[in-house]
Structure 1
């Protein structure tokens, strides 16, 4: 249960109930981060518009590259809700979710393409505290994805850091969208394994 309860349908307002209904139709359930955000109606709308905008605008990179970087970010931060929801979205998009269990082996695993490895390493560098992104890393990414692709990758990793850290702070955990994938246990916020 989150640290702040979700706003129930009865208290969500007419338009809020409409958004909840549309979310149920699309995802099977109302995403808990939206239902919690409904406590602050202006930020609820800002988040909704932003999410729809990012979804429609992020089209330069191949979906596999973009989504694997977002997934990696969620696992490093330790947001079980983001991992759960993100896995469902990948599955619904026809992406290979079975390989997600091997994300920690990305550097050597044949399950990940060279472009995906670059994106995952960048997600690690951007999510690390302190950040470890280097000039050389950015130059390689620009050669691989172009400037627009690099900006898209950077933005989507940054957005996922915001989502995952907010959900984690509010105690929003996996909602059962995709039970096939869970956050590896024993991971600290800097991505290192804990005993």
Structure 2
């Protein structure tokens, strides 16, 4: 079913929010060329969308996950990744970091960041942080502007 979106609060282009977000997306968005595996990056984006919860981003990144070849079953239970054996140790580590950064849990954040070093090099860690930060920017922008799906 086709879905369109409607702003119910404000147009972010009035103060160039989209321009700022698009600049970040060019470097770490879902079409960017990253050293981090594209499927992992997409799982991180989708997890941020679930946590915030942004309807626009959930729809966009669920489709992007499928386009990346991530199994429907894996996408369907991403929110319960801790109870799953479908996620690799590296994915689990990155998802824990994603959650600690998104919800910013100061008690857990440093340990989550440190645990990334057992699976990723410094560049990949920086990309993972940027992916999560960029998605938090987008989800909060879409929530603030009141972008809601409208069934056609």
> Would you say same fold, with TM above 0.5?
yes
Normalising by the residue count of structure 2, what TM-score does the alignment of the two structures yield?
0.80
Q: Tell me if 1:2 matches 2:7.
A: yes
User: Of 147, 159, 176, which residue of structure 1 is paired with 2:122?
Assistant: 147
Please tell me whether the aligned partners of residues 24 and 134 of structure 2 are also in contact (alpha carbons under 8 angstroms). Answer: no
Distance across 2 between alignment mates of 1:78 and 1:134? 21
- Aligned pairs (5 A) from 1:74-153: 74-153=49-128
Mean Cα deviation higher: 109-118 or 90-99: 90-99
Distance across 2 between alignment mates of 1:131 and 1:111? 28
Mean Cα deviation higher: 89-98 or 68-77: 89-98
Distance across 2 between alignment mates of 1:109 and 1:117? 10
Classify 1:95/1:49 alpha carbon distance in 2 versus 1 (closer, same or farther; 3 Å). same
Provide runs of 4+ in structure 1 moved above 6 Å. Answer: none
User: Of 142, 148, 151, which residue of structure 2 is paired with 1:167?
Assistant: 142
Distance across 1 between alignment mates of 2:94 and 2:129? 9
Please tell me whether the aligned partners of residues 48 and 99 of structure 2 are also in contact (alpha carbons under 8 angstroms). Answer: yes
Larger radius of gyration: 1
Equivalent residue pairs, number: 145
1:129 CA displacement = 5.0
By relative contact order (CA 8 Å, sep 6+), the higher-ranking structure is: 2
Pairwise CA RMSD of aligned residues?
A: 2.3
Point out where structure 2 has 5 or more consecutive residues left out of the alignment: 1-5
Classify 1:118/1:58 alpha carbon distance in 2 versus 1 (closer, same or farther; 3 Å). farther
Corresponding residue for residue 25 of structure 1: none
Distance across 2 between alignment mates of 1:152 and 1:39? 30
